[in-house]
Structure 1
């Protein structure tokens, strides 16, 4: 009986550790690769309704953006820049979806502040960021900011600012991962990649 109990406790301990084992820094992360499929995860919209990624991806090719939160000035600059490229991307038959750990309420504030028309989604639990290999342990000085931004659902992880181009089958055709959050992909490079994939 003791052996069985020990085994059960060990198994539970391993499961807890596995859930908590995030890369210590952005440079330690191992993102999904080009050609890999993004898991079908359900996220929250600005109005707190649920939407599945599979449903969204099946409608149009997607420029999928991960940002740290509406509290991050570099993210706000990037979101505003994306808004400038939106018409060109729409003309190429893409949709833009931007995802952060922010709660739906805080997504709405970002939408209004950065004047974006594209879709913002909440991944407050980090299920998607972790599944995509772009989540890492938040430094101690970020935990209060993250808890506030996610309405208390997250104080443990940050997503690496990343941009993916995803096809109708939810497969990654292009990715740009930037562990240094101060540097983001330029609109010129993003649009060039989108155009190139349109020719294939």
Structure 2
């Protein structure tokens, strides 16, 4: 009976991940205000007054090699991105201490925001709860989400990238439930 309950619970949690679809190009981007890793207030509305666009991306954590690779690519091309008037913001559920580890690994010099209450992830429809079996599997790989995110609710974002134009509309979306897939910098530059 316990096995059946766990299977049903697992299927329900998988459906919650399947339900996430992210926002679409043409949608109005939800506004947000947060403090970044340097203590700077990051306010979408204010950023769009001073920049042509905002490249907003969601990443899972410093433990994710695909996230680190994507962040490193954005950092390596930051001058080209900012040269097109873009402001780059990364959003994650990981703690400030772990954001610092991400920055140490990737040398990211753009804003990184801890979305502790998941309000930004929820607004962009990228949040999901990992099922207990997957949490246990990640622990065998040395990934402790409780410690990494500073809580026990196991919420992660679908890695997604949004380009928001000056009018506050989403111009480009990369949303893929396959956490290994990220947009290339060339694609992002072509959409700016």
TM-score normalised per structure 2: 0.79
3-state secondary structure, aligned to 1:191: helix
1:147: how far off?
A: 2.2
Deviations 1:98-117 (A, max 9, x none): 11111222212211221111
Q: Could you tell me which residue of structure 1 aligns to residue 28 of structure 2?
A: 37
Q: Could you tell me which residue of structure 2 aligns to residue 187 of structure 1?
A: 185
Q: Could you tell me which residue of structure 1 aligns to residue 168 of structure 2?
A: 170
1:83: how far off?
A: 1.1
Q: Any conservation in 2 of the 1:23–1:135 contact (CA below 8 Å)?
A: no
Q: Any conservation in 1 of the 2:13–2:131 contact (CA below 8 Å)?
A: no
1:181: how far off?
A: 0.3
Matches within 5 A, 1:125-140: 125-140=117-132
Gaps of 5+ in 1: 1-20, 195-200
Deviations 1:142-186 (A, max 9, x none): 38733212222x623211111111122332111111210012111
* CA radius of gyration, larger in: 1
Structure 1 residue 56 and structure 2 residue 55: aligned? no
Relative distance call for 1:169 and 1:182 in structure 2 (3 A) is same
TM-score normalised per structure 1: 0.76
Structure 1 residue 119 and structure 2 residue 88: aligned? no
Q: Any conservation in 2 of the 1:44–1:104 contact (CA below 8 Å)?
A: no
Relative distance call for 1:155 and 1:71 in structure 2 (3 A) is farther
Q: Pick from 45, 48, 58: which aligns with 1:66? A: 58
> How many corresponding residue pairs?
173
Structure 1 residue 76 and structure 2 residue 74: aligned? no
Whole-Å Cα distance in 2 between the matches of residues 150 and 135 of structure 1? 14
| Aligned Cα root-mean-square deviation (Å) | 2.3
